Amino acid sequence: MQAVLRAREAFLSGRTRTLEFRLQQLQALLTMITEKEAEISTALKQDMNRSQYDTPLLELISIENEIKLAIEKLAEWAAPRPVEKNLLTISDEVYIQPEPLGVVLIIGAWNYPWALTLLPLVGAIAAGNAAVVKPSELSEYSSLLLRALLPRYLDKDLYPVVTGGASETQELLRQRFDHVFYTGSSSVGRLVMEAAARHLTPVTLELGGKSPCYIDRNCNIRTACRRITWGKFVNCGQTCIAPDYILCEPSVQGQVVDRIRRTLLEFYGADPKCSPDYGRIINQRHFSRILSLMEGYTPVVGGQSDASQCYIAPTVLKDVPPHSRLMQEEIFGPLLPIVTVSDMDDAIRFINEREKPLALYIFCSDKKAVRRMMEETTSGGVTVNDVMMHYTLSSLPFGGVGHSGIGRYHGRHSFDQLSHQRACLVRTLGMESLLSSSPADDITVRLPTSWPIRCVGPGQDSVPVIQFTHKLI
């Protein structure tokens, strides 16, 4: 594929090695986001009826902040990192040097087509890599706009955009890359990993899964339900770290349903279909898939749909059996099932019997109980008494564990993920007499007084010495 060959040749030219070039490219990407915000918002409105107010909040601000952080910290991130020495290397220069990997393939996702494509690109540029960018064909308008915009602002040889569907992605995966960064479903993630394995190419897989949300009976249920409702139904439920289902005790289930119903009325009005703030399902295939998950259930909130608009109302289902189809696959839509558990022990057991989730949400006022649930479960990330907020911090690594993903990114974590941490030891050609001494010799090495080694001798001003005594036994 010509785009990959050009990216490889451009990388081998060496121009990405200088920090000045990387900073210039990062600044150009920031300029693109700020200058083209209106066009990006329009594309997202066409793709999934995204509100013009949601686009900056959900995508553009995070991209801008990530670029600004990389520009500010790049010199620090790229600098040699000194490490501890041992006795044999005490006079050597020893450090870790982050180096570019080479050419990275970035396969973006359709639900947040700008953030989930450009955030990895920020890390790739900062780390000095070339990157072939493959946006999702499902977010068609965003994909075409990205293809048009990126070459105007960035080096078109180093950072080409390849559009198309499954066949184009498969062709890209046949090529050899130095890293593949994929965001999407676990089923496709397996195919990406299998293709990368043929070339022994490392991967970052940002996947998903069923992220549980536990509501303790003694927490502030009104506040909990407001926060859960926003996190679940923003972007029409098409968020990889959205709460997938609620776990709560039967005694509070009715209160949870009532509070979610009231919050939905406040957020989207009596008819969410008419709300400018409520989105749509990306296409007919996903619309049909989500509707099929509801078969056999009577929603207690919502349930309305309109195929002509790919519209599904915010929907809540209660008393959902743990082994139902609804609980076997990631919903990725505006359906919120409630599963009842007897207590926290039961909730922990329920979570641990399933694949490790991308996120875990705990609503509980008892710090000891929160700590226990965190210690006895595992997930890619966890947020307590809110949802999705851990994603917003560049200082926290974002990624899954097990079935929900491999690797991590955001901030410095992106830079490190897309760099080779090269081990470096630099020694002089001196000291050969020390190395070639006979076994019977006693050797004294005198070191500068500034070195943090305990002095040997009767007085405080004694010269520090290390004495090597070779004895034949």
Domain count, the chain: 2
Q: Which pLDDT score is estimated for 471?
A: 38
In this prediction, residue 130 carries a pLDDT of 98
Any idea what the CATH number is for the domain that residue 257 is in? 3.40.309.10
pLDDT attached to residue 454: 46
| pLDDT, mean of each 10-residue run, the chain (473 residues) | 96 98 98 97 95 92 98 98 95 97 98 98 98 97 98 98 96 97 96 97 96 97 98 97 98 97 97 96 97 94 97 97 94 98 98 97 97 98 98 97 97 98 95 61 52 46 45 34
Catalytic annotation present for 240: yes
Tell me the residue range of the domain where 175 lies: 1-207+408-423
Q: What is the pLDDT of residue 52?
A: 86
Are residues 19 and 136 both part of a single domain? yes
User: Quick check: is 312 in a domain?
Assistant: yes
Q: Is 137 inside any structural domain?
A: yes
Does any domain span residue 155? yes
Query: What is the dihedral sign for C-alpha 275, 279, 281, 282?
Result: positive
Marked catalytic residue, from 240, 248, 310, 364:
240
Residues 310 and 216 in one domain: yes
Give which of 349, 351, 341 is closest to 244, Cα–Cα. 351
Predicted pLDDT of residue 440:
52
Predicted pLDDT of residue 430: 81
**Whether residue 269 is found in the same domain as residue 381:** yes
pTM of the model: 0.90
Residue 192's alpha-carbon distances to 159, 182, 240, 395, 444, in angstroms, are 20, 8, 18, 28, 58
Residues 416 and 379 in one domain: no
- Regarding whether 148 and 7 lie in a shared domain, the answer is yes
Residues 31 and 134 in one domain: yes
- Of the residues 66, 206, 236, 310, only one is catalytic, namely 206
User: Are 413 and 360 in a shared domain?
Assistant: no
Indicate whether 419 and 387 sit together in one domain.
no
pLDDT attached to residue 468: 43
Q: Do residue 181 and residue 313 come from a single domain? A: no
Residue 138, number of CB atoms within 10 A of its CB: 18
